[in-house]
Amino acid sequence: MDVLNDPAAMARLQTFGQLRVPIVTIEDRWAYAGDLDDVADFLGIARTGHRMLPPRRLIEKYDAILAAAQRYLRAFPAEAIGMTVPRREKRDMRELGYHVFAIAEDLMHLKDGDEYLQGTGPVPETVRSFDDIIAYGDEMRRRLRDWFTCRPAAFWSQTCRTSYGAFSMHKYLERATWHSGQHSRQILEMLRLASADAPDPLPAHFFAGLPLPERIWD
């Protein structure tokens, strides 16, 4: 079900005092469902056993994901920027392409007490073409590498409390990495729907160790 386009579902979310998804509910209790181990704790079932990749490995994968997204976007016909994505009729390729890199920008701005937008802010009016998005991607990749280099090892175990929840910075990095990764897979699928050739797509095994949804459009 597309909760964001379902008025009844959104009204139910409001009864819990928040409008963020995903969540899991039992009667009048709820918990964010962004982390499966948190969901397991909430439901009183066994945890997943998932172990996060080391921060350095995550940042390497993140850069490769962003580079792949840029390759895919370069292959799109310019007129395809208005293509809308399945199950999200209000999201077109301009928004989806920008979102992949905006996730990284919001990660780098993360602070205690923040509303964590996860790249969902509005696309700037200056970003009109695939070339604009790719240039933004260049900037985010450079800044992400510099940001990581300046962080000491102890930084990754620090807890940051945001509207998304209270997690270690290591967990936030993992979340941003697989979040951009999932959307990079969607861009690749959109490229195929546009009947364009996919340039050097990331193989399925590249995503091993990242807790991505099984399906492309989840």
- Residues in the chain, pLDDT under 50: 1, 3, 19
**pLDDT score recorded for residue 94:** 97
Q: How many CA atoms does the CB half-sphere of 210 hold within 13 Å?
A: 26
Distance between CA 8 and CA 121 in Å, rounded?
A: 24
Tokens of residue 140, six digits: 């985010």
Burial label, 82 (beta-carbon count in 10 A; 0-12, 13-18, 19+): exposed
User: SS3 for 83?
Assistant: coil
Element at 73 (helix H, strand E): helix 55-74
pLDDT tens readout for residues 74-101: 999 999 999 999 987 789 999 999 999 9
pLDDT of res. 41: 74
Q: What is the pTM of this model?
A: 0.82
Write down all domains in the chain, each with its CATH number in brackets: 3-43 (no CATH), 55-207 (1.20.120.450)
Specify the pLDDT at position 1.
44
CB count, 10 Å around CB of 193? 12
Distance CA 116, CA 49 (A): 26
The maximal CA–CA distance of the chain, rounded, in angstroms, is 50
